[in-house]
Structure 1
Amino acid sequence: MPAPVLTSTIEFRGQADVYDALASEDARGLYRFLQRRGLIAGDPGPVPALKAKVANLDACEILRTPKAGIIAYRKREGDVVKAGDVIADIVDPLADDPKKARLELRCQSDGPILSTRAMKAVAAGDSVVMIVGDKAMPNPTGLMLSD
């Protein structure tokens, strides 16, 4: 029986991460990874220290919008939040009373914000924020991966 074929999918960051410096850093990292796997000759150097937090997927909280509107973030990617923090508001641009146009989105977990939605117009049920928590979410709903 022949050996299995190594396959992979490479994703280079997100739609908003279009910078030459990031692309160069990622290309060097990919090259060193392939060297460490013996697929490219050469010395990749020492394995770098882990920069990211490691968490189980079920500990990642995905905030979803309860209604349609425009999302206005109060927190950014990389910010560390606590359970109960307001992460964003959903603004109803058609609200009759501007004082009632905002609906706060609060998180249930502690941890850094991993990602936010690039598109600002949202529909009910859209995933808009992922937070890397420490504990499994008590009542996870829907898909654990973002849309």
Structure 2
Amino acid sequence: MTQVNTMNIAELTGIGGAVIGDLEMYGVQLKDDLEMAEETIMEMREEIEWLKANVKAAEKAKELWMADALSAKKKIADNSQAVTLVRNMLDEIDLEDDDENTRELRKIYWNEDDDIKQLKAEHAEADEESNTAAWNEMNVGI
């Protein structure tokens, strides 16, 4: 049989008590850490939900922007067609018959006076060719 020294029992009891105290302290610390981790996880979940909502809102905004962009593109195409139509109509008006409104329209739709000058020059050239052709026809008969 082994003899146990009373001093050893006291030491063991003290050490055991210290170990139990340390374990309790670590247990409390672990409990606090666990609570903090749970709070952090909840905050992260809330932030993830917030981010998901922002992504959905951004996707919706993108869809609306794309719709607006397509609408604007169509309006630009329509306006371009309208400008072309007005320019063609202005081309058909004899330059000598231009009134102030027609000249203003030419300035607006041709944007520059140089374009108007070029257009007048083209009309003058066409008139000259027409007059030359008519003169030649008259001379052929002579």
Q: Which range, TM-score by smaller chain?
A: under 0.3
More strand by share: 1
Highest RCO, 1 vs 2 (Cα 8 Å, sep ≥ 6): 1
When normalised by structure 2's length, the TM-score is 0.15
When normalised by structure 1's length, the TM-score is 0.14
Give the greater-gyration-radius structure (CA).
2
